[in-house]
Amino acid sequence: MSDYKRIVVKVGTSTLTHPSGKLNLLRIERLAMVLSDLANQGRDIVLVTSGAIGVGMGKLGFEERPTDIALKQALAAVGQGMLMQIYEKMFSEFGRVVAQILITKEDIFFEDRNKNAMNTFNELLRHGIIPIVNENDTIATDEIKIGDNDVLSAYVAKLLNADLLIILSDIDGLYDKDPIFKDAKLISRVTNIDEKVKGISKGSNTNLGTGGMRTKINAAQITMESGIAMVIANGNRPDNIYDILEGKDIGTLFKPE
């Protein structure tokens, strides 16, 4: 993996925020440093970020994630601006320019918009700019209802013909059973998404984020069918990205045979 040039990194809400919903600034700064350093090595880096709704909740004092779609859109509108402001500040400390790209399903599945999106990404990367991607939650109701940034990051990796997708979350990887059990074992490598693997994954929701292992398995299926490797790793330590690229046994690697 040390030779991989184009890398997509997805970071979840639980990694970006404290349990209160407030941003974990120390972790975001460390993530920005690691990604900037990788870009300095000549790699193409794309960051897919969750957290807009969660940050909006923290800003406006919501303790529980609402179910009303219009309210979710409003929270996303508040949180997205705050999130980008922090990212721009953090990345600028390390000499990196970032750009915001908000994507809907049409940008992925409609040919003309797909091509336009790909051209924009490539031009940004050509100039050494790090694209920061999120779903356009403020207007795309379907994305809020059924969309998930794990799956979105897989489609972005496929769109860009990336070498690797790294999903950073609050878990160490895929276990053979629910990790609440003491005898649960981490699966270090998966080469095929079969019914057994699908059976392990169960959807789960947190107060701030959405999805769970089920959506990560869906993402892995998309990347593997496209010949792209994917790793699920714990985002509490952004330096795990270095270890992954050095080939160390970190998290769960999904790689086509």
Structure tokens, 2? 């040390």
CB-CB contact of 158 with 226 (8 Å): yes
Amino acid at 63: E
252 annotated to a ligand binding site: no
Is 189 annotated for ligand binding? no
Q: Is 214 annotated as a binding residue?
A: yes
Q: Tell me whether residue 215 is annotated as binding.
A: yes
| Strand 98-103 with 189-190, pairing | unpaired
169 is in an annotated binding site: yes
* Paired residues of 231 in beta bridges: 166, 253
Q: In what order do the strands lie in the sheet with 189-190?
A: 98-103, 130-135, 44-49, 6-11, 164-169, 229-234, 252-254, 189-190
Q: How many CA atoms lie within 13 A of 191 on its CB side?
A: 1
CA distance linking residue 222 with residue 36, whole number of Å:
27
The annotation status of 213 as a binding-site residue, yes or no, is: yes
Annotated binding residue 137: yes
Instruction: Provide Rg for the chain, Cα atoms.
Output: 17
Q: Is 58 annotated as a binding residue?
A: no
Alpha carbon of 173 to those of 41, 128, 247: distances in Å? 27, 31, 15
Q: How many residues does the chain have?
A: 257
Check whether 17 is labelled as a binding-site residue: no
User: Is 36 known to sit in a ligand binding site?
Assistant: no
Between CA 174 and CA 207 the distance in angstroms is 21
Establish whether 216 is an annotated binding residue.
yes
Q: Is 210 annotated among the ligand-binding residues?
A: yes
The candidate with the shortest Cα–Cα distance to 103, out of 49, 59, 54, 53, is 49
User: Is 170 flagged in the annotation as binding?
Assistant: yes
Contact 217, 201 (CB under 8 A): yes
Q: Which residues are annotated binding-site positions for substrate?
A: 50, 137, 149
Q: Which residues are annotated binding-site positions?
A: 10, 50, 137, 149, 169-170, 210-216
Q: Which residues are annotated binding-site positions for ATP?
A: 10, 169-170, 210-216
